[in-house]
Copies of this chain bind each other. A is one copy, B any other.
Amino acid sequence: MFESAELGHTIDKDTYRKEVPLLREALLEMQLDLLQAAKFPVIILITGVDGAGKGETVNILNEWMDPHHIQTHALSDPTDEERERPEMWRYWRVLPPKGKIGIFFRSWYSLPINEALQGSGKNSELDQHMGRINNFEKMLTDEGALILKFWLHLGKEQQRARLKKLEKDPKTRWRVTDKDWQNFKIYERFRRVAEHALRQTSTPDAPWIIIEGNDPRYRYLAVGKAILQALQTRLKNGEPRKTSVSVPPLLTKIDKLNVLKKLDMSHKLAKKEYEDELEKYQGRLNLLMRHANFKKISLVTVFEGSDAAGKGGSIRRITGALDARFYEVLPTAAPTEEELAQPYLWRFWRHMPSRGRLAIFDRSWYGRVLVERVEGFCSESDWMRAYSEINDFEEQLIRSKTVLVKFWLSISKDEQLKRFKERENTGFKRFKITPDDWRNREKWDEYENAVCDMIDRTSTEIAPWTLVEANDKNFTRIKVLKTLCKMLTEAL
Is A88 in contact with chain B by the CB < 8 A criterion? yes
Bound-complex Cα distance A234 to B99 (A): 36
Query: Shortest Cβ distance from A383 into chain B, in angstroms?
Result: 12
Query: Shortest Cβ distance from A411 into chain B, in angstroms?
Result: 33
Is A284 in contact with chain B by the CB < 8 A criterion? no
Bound-complex Cα distance A256 to B344 (A): 43
**Number of copies of chain A assembled together:** 2
A13-21, A346-354, A448-456 - interface stretch:
A346-354
Closest B residue, CB atoms, query A88? B396
Is A131 in contact with chain B by the CB < 8 A criterion? yes
Is A38 in contact with chain B by the CB < 8 A criterion? yes
Q: Point out the residues of chain B lying under 8 angstroms from A344, CB to CB.
A: 143
Q: Point out the residues of chain B lying under 8 angstroms from A350, CB to CB.
A: 92-93
Is A125 in contact with chain B by the CB < 8 A criterion? yes
Is A87 in contact with chain B by the CB < 8 A criterion? yes
Is A342 in contact with chain B by the CB < 8 A criterion? yes
Q: Point out the residues of chain B lying under 8 angstroms from A145, CB to CB.
A: 343
Are A396 and B86 touching (Cβ within 8 A)? yes
Bound-complex Cα distance A124 to B123 (A): 9
Q: Point out the residues of chain B lying under 8 angstroms from A38, CB to CB.
A: 341
A57-65, A260-268, A397-405 - interface stretch:
A397-405
- Which one of A139, A382, A397 has the highest number of Cβ atoms from chain B below 10 Å of its Cβ? A139
Closest 8 CB pairs of A and B: A97-B341, A86-B400, A84-B354, A92-B349, A143-B343, A98-B341, A86-B396, A124-B124
Is A140 in contact with chain B by the CB < 8 A criterion? yes
Contact of A127 among B98, B127, B338 (CB under 8 A): B127
Is A30 in contact with chain B by the CB < 8 A criterion? no
Q: Point out the residues of chain B lying under 8 angstroms from A127, CB to CB.
A: 124, 127-128, 131
Bound-complex Cα distance A132 to B388 (A): 12
Are A95 and B388 touching (Cβ within 8 A)? no
Query: Shortest Cβ distance from A268 into chain B, in angstroms?
Result: 40
Is A24 in contact with chain B by the CB < 8 A criterion? no
Is A441 in contact with chain B by the CB < 8 A criterion? no
Given A139-B389, A341-B38, A343-B140: A298 in contact with B399 (beta carbons within 8 A)? no
Is A135 in contact with chain B by the CB < 8 A criterion? yes
Bound-complex Cα distance A336 to B344 (A): 46
A129-187 CB contacts (< 8 Å) to partner B: 131-132, 135-136, 139-140, 142-143, 145
